Structure 1
Amino acid sequence: MPRIITRPFLFSPLTLCISAVASAAKTAVKRKKLFTAVLALSWAFSVTAAERIVVAGGSLTELIYAMGAGERVVGVDETTSYPPETAKLPHIGYWKQLSSEGILSLRPDSVITWQDAGPQIVLDQLRAQKVNVVTLPRVPATLEQMYANIRQLAKTLQVPEQGDALVTQISQRLERVQQNVAAKKAPVKAMFILSAGGSAPQVAGKGSVADAILSLAGAENVATHQQYKSYSAESLIAANPEVIVVTSQMVDGDINRLRSIAGITHTAAWKNQRIVTVDQNLILEWVRVLLMSLSLYTSSFGRNKWI
């Protein structure tokens, strides 16, 4: 909790000592000053406690709740699905297609979102209305950046201790996963297909958020290009991943929809039924990248079945 909560109580012992040794006139003056100080502190505490926050970014929402500040959130965007209580909050659309009217209707003191949120004109309109707009970098998708975001968000919320504790908790979980990964003889060879428009799969390469998911999960990304690239049937067969990760939107409840991707049925992943599905929206959210990668490691890469 913000330090400001404890400050009013620091004045009471001091005030009693002053009252015991000072003259009546001086005591009256000091009491008046003390009352003013306590009143100011109480007002500041009320503002902090009553702060209204709108969050555009599912990962950011989760972080705010994880640090115990969820009661301040009065609105979220469409990528927010956790924790469950956020389902009851007003939704403001998608973080890349924000509307100032919808956000301002919630009377926020602050809006917290990603640096590449938009449109930019909407963020400018919010600032013009004296709304504190806080933006955090979504890329590069590195652990260092995620930890920096957590600490910056904790500072913004005035809960630095909770931010440090969350970083420690995450790093400890990752350390356990990495120890298990290091104990394995060889990492699983995996491929992340983000989309397959026109049957040509868009494969995630080095430097992409999807690549970070695979790496953190202890897998080796067989795609060596940078960012995203279309793969031909020949390229897909040559890569021959042991596990293929796709979005749930591509499958839409039927794994056989992937048969339209040329070459996929010739891969080891397809033959051994090692196809993993994840929500596409989560790929855009760095904190969900961590959760997803932990989930992939613990429940997916060691099983031979459709997931």
Structure 2
Amino acid sequence: MFGWPGFWLALLCGLAGQAPADEVCAIDDADREVCLAAPANRIVTLSPSLTELLFAAGAGVRLVGTVDFSDYPPEAAELPRVGRHDRLDLEALLALEPDLVVAWISGNPREQLDRLRLLGVPLFLSETRDVEGVAESLERLGRLAGSEASAAAAAATFREGTRALRAEYRAASPVRVFYQVWEQPLMTVNGDHWISQALALCGGENVFAEAPSRVPRIGLEAVLARDPEAILTGGAGPGDATWLEAWRDHAQMTAVRRDNLFVVDPSLVQRATPRLLAGTRAICEDLEVVRERR
């Protein structure tokens, strides 16, 4: 048995090996454990999608900065800007004195993220890859921001919505779809991407699902050879059908012949946020039109 001095020494040593009571930790999408001494109070996000995620997780009041084109929710417009996602203004970012920066792995300049890391700025690296990843990101960000209850509720709502869509369209006849991400160069998504998974929830079959790259560049002839029954695109912005008009030059395609050319709101589909649920519902409605036109 310890004497009193030994008892206190053992107790203090034991406490020294424990994490502080307020410490919060989460695993980011680079498989790094990110720990903060306390929930973050000054957060900067480095993509529009990440800004949306933080607001959806109930942590909007803790945001002190973001990048250009962060336009949702409306409150995001009031946040100071620290450059574009592909070229950050590190001086402006550091002036905000963030205690957490949420970064986009493939979208932010690696050398600038490395610089922030060297300066000791806590970084959470995010790269949502699939539909389930939206809910998981909400939960992890909510943990770091101290808004776990709100984040858990948002994640549960999102998961329930995807389950409902899967059940509703489980027996729907398949529709072969080409989703156009960009025009020049012509780009799409493969089967691992959340957009392809959203199509699948509606009974859509991505004609480029087998592509090795998540966002591959493709040729016009490859699309013509696959002869999709429907073409969907976000265009250059909401309601922009310019890219679809170019497909009308290829009247031999099934999608063109049946007028199955659809514009979707890119902010609802091409951002991995809870609004993906609304975007997926819109896709499902478009694919129902395709089935009616057979």
Root-mean-square deviation (Å):
3.3
Partner Cα distance (1:115, 1:210) in 2: 18
Residues 1:239 and 1:127: Cα distance change in structure 2 (over 3 Å): closer
**Counterpart of 1:193?**
180
Task: Give unmatched runs, 5+ long, in structure 2.
Answer: 1-21, 23-36
Question: Are 2:196 and 2:209, in contact at CA under 8 Å, matched by a contact in 1?
Answer: no
Partner Cα distance (1:72, 1:90) in 2: 13
Asked which structure has the greater CA Rg, the reply is 1
TM-score of the pair, normalised by structure 1: 0.69
**Counterpart of 1:110?**
100
Partner Cα distance (1:261, 1:180) in 2: 31
1:146-295 aligned within 5 A:
146-184=134-172, 186-197=173-184, 201-226=186-211, 227=213, 228-233=216-221, 235-249=222-236, 253-255=240-242, 257-260=243-246, 264-278=250-264, 285-287=271-273, 289-295=276-282
**Counterpart of 2:43?**
53
Question: Are 1:251 and 1:258, in contact at CA under 8 Å, matched by a contact in 2?
Answer: no
Compare the two structures and name the one with the higher helix fraction. 1
TM-score of the pair, normalised by structure 2: 0.72
Question: Are 1:246 and 1:278, in contact at CA under 8 Å, matched by a contact in 2?
Answer: yes
Q: Which amino acid aligns with 2:234?
A: T
Q: Which amino acid aligns with 2:125?
A: T
Structure with greater contact order relative to length (CA < 8 Å, sep ≥ 6): 2
Question: Are 2:175 and 2:204, in contact at CA under 8 Å, matched by a contact in 1?
Answer: yes
Question: Are 1:78 and 1:95, in contact at CA under 8 Å, matched by a contact in 2?
Answer: yes
Residues 1:135 and 1:109: Cα distance change in structure 2 (over 3 Å): same
| Identical positions, percent | 24
1:34-92: CA deviations, max 9, x gaps?
A: xxxxxxx9xxxxx9799221111222222221232211112122242210111122222
Question: Are 2:57 and 2:138, in contact at CA under 8 Å, matched by a contact in 1?
Answer: no
1:85-104 aligned within 5 A:
85-104=75-94
The alignment covers a number of residue pairs equal to 253
For residue 303 of structure 1, the aligned residue among 264, 271, 289 is: 289
Q: Which amino acid aligns with 2:193?
A: S
Partner Cα distance (1:265, 1:247) in 2: 21
Partner Cα distance (1:102, 1:221) in 2: 42
- SS in structure 2 at match of 1:118: coil
